Amino acid sequence: MSLARYLDPEVIQQVARLDLRARFIVEGFLAGLHRSPFHGLSVEFAEHRKYVQGDDLRQIDWNVYARTDRLFVRRYTAETHLDCYLLVDASASMGPVGYEVHARRAEKLNYAIHIAAALGYLVIRQQDAIGLGVLGRKLNTFLPPRSRQTDLAQILATLARIRPSGETGLAAALNAALQRVSHRSLFVLLSDLLTDPDELMQAIHNLRFRGHDLIVMHILDASEATLDYRSAVRLEDPESGQAVTVDADAVRPAYLAALQAWRQDLRDQFARLQADYVALDTSMPFDRALVEFLHQRGKRG
């Protein structure tokens, strides 16, 4: 994989680290699985036929055998390969949050980048195609789906260059991405969803109306998920610059109740649109995020 093709020399090392971490996440995760995590995503059931010696035993339909006492295997027909688009929110709200906001790292964006890189490896291993959209106030970057291992280098290079900035414009960016996609695909949105909810849901409706599948990976900073501060703390909106000082201990119960209600409302709205919702925060191990992704994707398979 030629990283130099896409990057200046001074940042090649950074991309190489992302490549290594993504491989580590995926290889460690797959070591515990007994079959391909994407089995059934790129094929559809066609018919049964009688078992003949030499057929793959894994394809025997044991439910049919239990009813008929005869061995049949399931036959599948291949569909067009799966196109999966990773849509990464790179707005300023994905950057540092909470106390001493300007001194902290962009944990949410770093988390989203690593999950996106790992999902890229999962899809490429299945010989399906992975594309990438970087979302800000508009669609900042769009890479069409490719299925070769060498093509993953460009996605990793783009991910490694992302820095959080600007206002959130998820709806406009999503709609712009939709204009680039001509056939049914899987979209994976990685975002904190801090945007206008009505505009976002309308964009999701447009996506689903066109027949695309969607998994929303809602990523919050661990401090956002717990408000794990003590006494007075100054909280700043990284997009508007507005700030407020609160007593964290005093407001925590109401804050956590409001957060839970918000996430449940999102879950309900996405369910009505037949889109899948995965709630994450940066304290969660990457393998848990992948398990949740595959669980939701399996329901669509």
- Check whether residue 49 and residue 12 sit in a common domain: no
The verdict on pTM exceeding 0.85 is: no
Residues sharing a CB contact under 8 Å with residue 187, sequence separation 6 or more, in sequence order: 84, 85, 87, 177, 207, 212, 213, 214, 215
Residue 90: pLDDT band (50, 70, 90) is very high
- Check whether residue 264 and residue 126 sit in a common domain: yes
Residues sharing a CB contact under 8 Å with residue 108, sequence separation 6 or more, in sequence order: 94, 95, 97, 192, 219, 220, 221, 282
> Is residue 36 situated within a structural domain?
no
- Check whether residue 187 and residue 260 sit in a common domain: yes
- Check whether residue 126 and residue 229 sit in a common domain: yes
- Check whether residue 51 and residue 176 sit in a common domain: no
Long-range contacts made by residues 256-260, C-beta under 8 angstroms, separation at least 24?
Answer: 256/226, 256/227, 259/224, 259/225
Looking at residue 179, its pLDDT comes to: 94
- Check whether residue 113 and residue 240 sit in a common domain: yes
- Check whether residue 186 and residue 231 sit in a common domain: yes
- Check whether residue 200 and residue 248 sit in a common domain: yes
- Check whether residue 60 and residue 112 sit in a common domain: no
- Check whether residue 65 and residue 11 sit in a common domain: no
Which of 38-52, 85-99, 250-264 is the least confident region?
Answer: 38-52
Looking at residue 43, its pLDDT comes to: 46
Range of the domain at 73: 43-78
269: domain CATH number is: 3.40.50.410
Looking at residue 279, its pLDDT comes to: 94
- Check whether residue 294 and residue 155 sit in a common domain: yes
Can you state the angle between helices 9-30 and 152-161, rounded to 10 degrees? 110
